Amino acid sequence: MNDPHPYDALTPDLVLAAVDAAGHASDGRLLALNSYENRVYQVGLEGGRFVVVKFYRPGRWTDAAIAEEHAFTAELAAAELPVVAPLSHAGETLLEHAGFRYAVFPRRGGRAPELDGAEAAAWMGRTLGRVHAVGARAPFVHRGGIDLESHVRAPMRQVLEGPLLPDACVARYRAAIEAALPPLADAWSRAQPVERLRLHGDCHPGNVLWTETGPLLVDLDDARSGPAIQDLWMLMTGAEAQREALLEGYSQFRALDYGELSLVEPLRLMRQIHYAGWLSSRWQDPAFPPAFPWAAEARWWDTHIDDIREGADAL
């Protein structure tokens, strides 16, 4: 987890060798896909097919936590839900090669979703209602939850200990987080009791592909325990009719506690705080500075601090 360059040894030859070791005969075609937390590649196979191979960031998840992600995905697939489950080799889905843990997935196509319309929103809601019906069957044991420690306090420490926050912003940043914690805690307290279930965890439009058969959920790498609304709020476009269609579709397959809507703004603020911590903790990874150059600018941190204060005031 502390290695600033965890993927230095992940060469193209190693990627192809890992795919071969998983029982797939690669043909040398290799394409890096857009991913920063992990490293993900599309690899061509003999015969013309493709697979997608994901190399997990060293130290981020335990083997048991990754196994839970794979088991949850397999459980969803067995319930005929539109997810992409990892392929197994010798009965295992979490594999290791040359010190890297990885998984191989079938390649699935699709386009970016257009969720503004009521029909697509309702379809998305029905899909998530079915996902959560499965997610409510049993809890995660080894994966984290969505709470103030993981999404506010830990990211605050990452920012304060990291290389990005300008010295001139330290006092303002610390004060903004400390001012946000009481209203966030109060919002969660007022929303109780909140049922926590297994979630996709990062269900934004970029993790949804649209196909001829409807939505396809990808990348359950952030699967966590939390309230159902966590998988819904990032898909709300802001239009009331779209939101109602999404929630009504959801309710066709699983009852939604509408009191959880009070958590949308707290969750939005927590995601902003968590994002800054993530950037700060990953900045030494050479893939990050060219991808997020604005995160090294003082004006971005000024805006981020203002956003935290405004979000806290709104709560």
Set 116, 202, 306, 307: catalytic member: 202
Supply 17's token pair: 């060798």
Give the whole-angstrom CA distance, residue 132 versus residue 60.
25
> Which of 219, 257, 306, 307 is the catalytic position?
219
Contacts of 43 (CB under 8 A, 6+ apart): 15, 16, 19, 24, 26, 29, 30, 31, 50, 51, 52, 53
Active site annotation includes 257 = no
Judged on CB neighbours under 10 Å (0-12, 13-18, 19+), 221 is buried
Asked if the bond preceding 106 is cis, omega within 30° of 0, the reply is no
- Tokens 């043909």 appear where? 27
Tokens 């890992």 belong to residue:
18
The residues facing 216 across adjacent strands are 209
13 is catalytic: no
Contact predicate 267/233, CB 8 Å: yes
Residues catalogued as catalytic: 202, 219
